[in-house]
Amino acid sequence: MTTTIPNTASPLALSEIEAIRTLFPILSTTVNGHGLVYLDSGATSQRPESVIQAESDYARRANSAVHRGAHTLAAEATDLFEQARERVAAFIGADEREIVWTSGATGALNLLAYSIGNASAGLGGAEADRFRLQAGDEIVVTEAEHHANLIPWQQLAARTGATLRFIPVDDDGILDLDAASAVIGDRTRIVAFAHVSNVTGAIAPVDALRTLAHRVGALVVLDACQSVPHLPIDVAALDVDFLVFSGHKMLGPNGIGVLYGRRELLDALPPFLTGGSMIETVTMEDATFLPSPQRFEAGTQPVSQAIALAAAVDVLTGVGMDRIHATEAAYGARLASGLVAIPGVRLVGPRPGTERVGLASFDLAGVHAHDVGQFLDDQGIAVRVGHHCAQPLHRRLGLTATTRASAYLYTTDAEIDAFLDATSRVAAFFGAER
């Protein structure tokens, strides 16, 4: 079962996609004598010229330490840095004080897990009591999680004595909601799961899982790495407690990510990283910390990256997330139906006709995923191969690796056709035809 996201917007027309493609310098690249067909945006998206330019312009004209200097350049850098926060916050319907800059979604999840661990160790005072874990408490994840939303919680459970439990998936890799009702119980303190699976493309039933979690007073942590770039997101409507995403998956640069948290929760959570910029007062014996977001932003910040991420948000907003979602839903449907029509292909995730984002992973009988990827690369088609940082899910499905194609706003129907045609020829090339 997935959560249907109502969308009456029309998909992007070919003329619009062609205009969008002109914004991305790399899309004119040739690979192995073929025009690049980039179907690996689920790993890292490409950057438009405006994003590249935003980072370059900052370095050329305004580079300085933020929140520290009193000179004109420092003030300008600080203004640009905080304006970027406002724009990114508005993109997901948050208040700018609820947006914490991190190194990426992995950094955001580790920040959150370690901060909760600090509360569990007695830091943060009475206001941090709501976060404290102890033996007998439970942290719930799913069997489909990316390692970045699994290992930090494994480690937190080990440090606090809490028990880590998981919601299983079925043979297609879809979450078992009946099992979720049994797993999430009175001892559950945290429920962490991906909004969209980076392997199956399935959209999680956020409303149902959030309701189960909040009913027992558990915090909800949403890994939105594969949803913020592709779906219209409103954190107020999602009603989750924390949410993370990465810049490099949404037209932005590497080295920047976001932790969203309800302001009252962030202000009560003790910091993980400490040092300059996040303090209120310091003595030789003690320190007090600024409110969020500054209390989580110790040290030199990723200023140019934040500014470039805001530029990426401007591009996505200009196109319209509802139309991007409509376009990619159509691509997801075409990928699913096209792949299952190829002999020997096992599609992972929702069956054709069931909602998914523009992403599909598959196994081809008799051919290792790395060989599939190499064959496609020879045709100029870039896809992802491997376990996609989701070994437990692949193990549950009886697979060691899959091939994943993921589309974005700059993908065309012709590129989907080229991918499906090339994939249909892989088995014969390797002598694995049935």
Reported as a single tens digit per residue, the pLDDT across 342-366 is 999 999 999 999 999 999 999 999 9
At 4 the pLDDT is 43
Taking alpha carbons only, the member of 244, 194, 231 closest to residue 355 is 231
Strands across the sheet containing 99-102: 99-102, 257-261, 242-246, 219-223, 188-194, 138-142, 163-167
- Fold category of 14-48+320-429 in CATH: Aspartate Aminotransferase, domain 1 (3.90.1150)
Which pTM was predicted? Answer: 0.96
Identify the CATH assignment for 52-317 out of 2.40.50.140, 3.40.50.12160, 3.40.640.10, 3.30.300.130: 3.40.640.10
Label residue 416 by pLDDT band (50, 70, 90).
very high
Question: Is 389 an active-site residue?
Answer: yes
Alpha carbon distance 198, 405 (integer Å): 11
Domain boundaries, the chain: 14-48+320-429, 52-317
Min mean pLDDT across 40-54, 278-292, 310-324, 404-418 is at: 278-292
Alpha carbon distance 99, 316 (integer Å): 19
pLDDT score of 2 more than 50: no
Computed on alpha carbons and rounded to an integer, the radius of gyration of the chain in Å comes to 22
Phi, psi of 72 (to 5 degrees): -60, -45
Which one of the listed residues 326, 389, 420, 432 is annotated catalytic? 389
At 6 the pLDDT is 52
Phi, psi of 194 (to 5 degrees): -85, 135
Alpha carbon distance 147, 409 (integer Å): 27
User: What would the two tokens of residue 192 be?
Assistant: 């962490």
139 within 8 A of 156, measured Cβ to Cβ: yes
pLDDT score of 146 more than 70: yes
101 within 8 A of 297, measured Cβ to Cβ: yes
pLDDT score of 201 more than 90: yes
For the residues of 286-342, what is the DSSP string, one character each? Answer: -EEEPPTTGGG--SS--HHHHHHHHHHHHHHHHH-HHHHHHHHHHHHHHHHHHHHTS
pLDDT score of 249 more than 90: yes
- Kindly state the average pLDDT of the residues 106-112: 98
The DSSP 8-state label assigned to residue 148 in this structure reads: G
The DSSP 8-state label assigned to residue 277 in this structure reads: T
Reported as a single tens digit per residue, the pLDDT across 70-94 is 899 999 999 999 999 999 999 999 9
Q: Tokens 């319209």 label which residue?
A: 320
Q: In sequence order, which residues have a C-beta less than 8 Å from that of residue 63 and are 6 or more positions away?
A: 73, 77, 303, 304
